[in-house]
Chain A
């Protein structure tokens, strides 16, 4: 049998409902439950698991008339981009929108790799009901498309509470209707510390992009977050602990291959879990179990640090309306490789993971060839996209900002 180059599962059916998403082809990942579809989330531990019902996101996409193209290959439980084909269905024009799990920036870096827009919604914007996840407090479904209008339409359709996930606030979902942008009334803070890891070409490209924001009239100024480097520490500790807990249910009892030769159930768990998870995820889970069982104080410290970082970002966003940060793209190739170490994975996502710690929305703008960023990045041999971040649940305004920039030819094709 020839393996499909992109799709883990292709939907043989076509859309039946009418609605705002009629005609829109949406590719998802096999970590989003669709009744009757194999939902293995890229892990041998879920081999043979078929979802018994639709995830809320899926139900809403279908209700609004979207056609689900299928589910694309993904990394194990969405961690990193190893073995992932996220973005490929957009590049091959087999889908108009892709939903890609964003746990440390996977959605945004996949968008960068495909040269499209990538939107990481606020924590609590969409129901997680039916999302086979790893880190409930950090991950969400990123929305990727070459067209910001497609992202807007999908967010409008799927956002808001469903009574099934209480982490979605009870207040009304953000309004995604187009908004008028008056640049002089909007301030953008360029985060100084986020430029720390850039090479010369990337630095130059990001400087040009920032200058471009000022040129179209936004009030741009530099802002500082001295504790920027702590985002990675917090993400590693909190994320690994949540992942360790979340994968406890994969015990090979109801699905997934059961390792032979166990003398009792305890051995069966250990052997099966040892055989089912890949090295990268396994090393992450072991790290999480260490903090759970052996160093809970470090985990508690990380939780306190996380609260402080959230507060710091809120402070910055009380001074400016949005933040602008670079996205380092040159890690994308390595993180999509077949084998990768934990440290290298974190290095590759160091420019994106902050938003998974804070839960704020981020729009990734690709460096279009017409923009200064694209040209400078190309000249320097590196690539650097722009991330725009807003306060939690400012998703609608952030999209409007992106659309305004798109209309001026800045930060996108």
Chain B
């Protein structure tokens, strides 16, 4: 019997707000432990939660980016459970009246066809504190860091539309791209600003059964999500085939063992309306104002890149996946760099160099203005490509302008067509066999001769001019 997976995702996205969700403490979980706390996020007696307007706005932008429908009225509930990571006995979340319902993300499936994966709802909630388990002497101790307690989150709950690990991974990549476009979060699974749990069950292909599901947590990358779903599908299929029941439970992904391991029985905490936080009422005018503030989203931007810069669809999709990348590209073009040249240099030189240095395009010292200045020198034949690559390397460590670096390191090339005639004549005289090969129809021999001239000019000659002049001389001498 053939089986297929039925998978739904629950994705937590930590909003990059200045403050926490219900108090004015800085939203910087990475600071010195417990530096960002107050009576409210420590839930001292008498604390009153106050919903952050910025968090509401950023959460609303996420909903709009995902095509989810913002609800006129939403409200917070208390998810009641006792655990040391939240000191008031409940987590504030939106169980009954979420901020938005519906929504979807389009991906390109493995068959190349466009697929629409549906979102059930999007709700806001607070993050919990971080537990650090250590051993003091021989005594195990647990420390609590409240910096993260009350950090603003949105949770995106999908429909069980996923059948393959590939779909889940593509969905997450597209989700990350769209949320990053609206500037609401960095959405980085490695540092925990995006977290994904997967609810996985299996059923015989062609049926509509909904069988016992298993929740899998602790996937720290998009790749892990795919691996965990693939593993869990295999585990459940093997269980069913040997007559074993699939047990409703929560399992943890172990990236070293590449397996899911049982964590606990699935626990559903009761949710009751919170009496302290007023309901959120959104007017249609407010929603429209937020919608008007949405930037051009990835799909639309890719479409425009194709039209405006004559890029291929694949090139446009690659560029537009990350807002920083496409912003960088369009700044280069606005600075007079030919689109194709800009794309070529970004994808083959800049992005690998930035990655190698563990930087990103926003923080890299190679700003689009500096790279544009360099590429203009190349386009104007003031330097050759080899020199441009060396200048680019220097730009990562030097504050000088590309022009100054070219000057200081003597990278300027000479494009006068007769400037290197002496060298060309000498090379033709000395390289008798290469000249003979060229004349015998071996085009590759011309490249060798150009290289010899370039070497003799110590890189200062413009290879295009050298090539042209060589051709003229070889024709003359024939």
Contact = CB atoms under 8 A, between A and B. Distances in A.
A277 interface: no
B451 interface: no
B48 interface: yes
A249 B39 contact: no
Interface stretch (B81-89, B232-240, B334-342, B353-361): B81-89
A265 to B, nearest CB: 6
B293 to A, nearest CB: 23
Interface in B16-51: 39, 43-46, 48, 50-51
A323 to B, nearest CB: 24
Nearest to A39: B45
A202 interface: no
B168 to A, nearest CB: 32
Interface of A is mostly: loop
B365 interface: no
B46 A167 contact: no
A131 interface: yes
Interface string A161-187: 001111100000000000000000000
Given A135-B275, A245-B272, A33 B48 contact: no
A366 B389 CA distance: 92
A51 B273 contact: no
Contacts of B278: 166-167
B88 A249 contact: yes
Contacts of B90: 245, 248
Nearest to B39: A52
B45 A33 contact: yes
Given A167-B276, A167-B278, A248 B82 contact: yes
Give chain B's interface secondary structure class.
loop
B39 A248 contact: no
A245 B78 contact: yes
A309 interface: no
B270 interface: yes
B80 interface: yes
B82 A266 contact: yes
A269 B82 contact: yes
Interface of B: 39, 43-46, 48, 50-51, 78, 80, 82, 84, 87-90, 142, 270, 272-273, 275-278
25 contacts: A39-B46, A51-B45, A52-B39, A129-B48, A130-B46, A131-B46, A132-B46, A135-B275, A136-B275, A164-B48, A164-B50, A165-B48, A165-B50, A166-B51, A166-B277, A167-B276, A242-B275, A247-B89, A248-B82, A248-B89, A248-B90, A251-B87, A251-B89, A296-B270, A303-B273
Given A46-B45, A269-B82, 14 more contacts: A41-B45, A51-B45, A52-B39, A127-B48, A129-B46, A133-B46, A135-B275, A136-B276, A166-B278, A167-B48, A242-B275, A245-B89, A245-B90, A251-B82
